[in-house]
Amino acid sequence: MAEAAKAHGPYRIYWITWGILLVITVAMLAAEKFHLPRIFLVLFLLVFMLVKATMIGGNFMHLRYEQRNLAVIVAVGLLVTSVILFSFITPESLSVRARRSEPVAAPAAPAHHP
Partner 1 sequence: MHDSTHAAALPAGWGGGVSPFGATWQKTMMWIFIVTDGLLFSGLLSGYAFLRMSSLYPWPERSHVFSIPFIALMTFILITSSATMGTAVGAAKLGDRKTALRFLILTIAGGAAFLGCQAYEWTHLIEHGARLTSNPWGAPQFGQAFFILTGFHGSHVLSGLVVLTITAIRTAMGKTQAQGVEMAGLYWHFVDLVWVFIFTLFYLV
- Answer for which of 8, 40, 96, 103 binds partner 1 (CB under 8 A) is 96
Distance CA 81, CA 77 (A): 6
Q: Examine residue 25 and tell whether it contacts partner 1 (CB under 8 A).
A: yes
Q: Examine residue 11 and tell whether it contacts partner 1 (CB under 8 A).
A: yes
Q: Examine residue 14 and tell whether it contacts partner 1 (CB under 8 A).
A: yes
Distance CA 93, CA 51 (A): 28
Core vs surface per residue 26-62: b (16+ CB within 10 A) or e: eebeebeeeeeeeeeeeeeeeeeeeebeebebbbeee
- Footprint of partner 1 on this chain (CB under 8 A)? 1-2, 5-6, 10-11, 13-15, 17-18, 21-22, 25, 28-29, 42, 45-46, 48-49, 52-53, 56-57, 59-61, 66-70, 73-74, 77-78, 81-82, 85-86, 89-90, 92-94, 96-97, 100-101
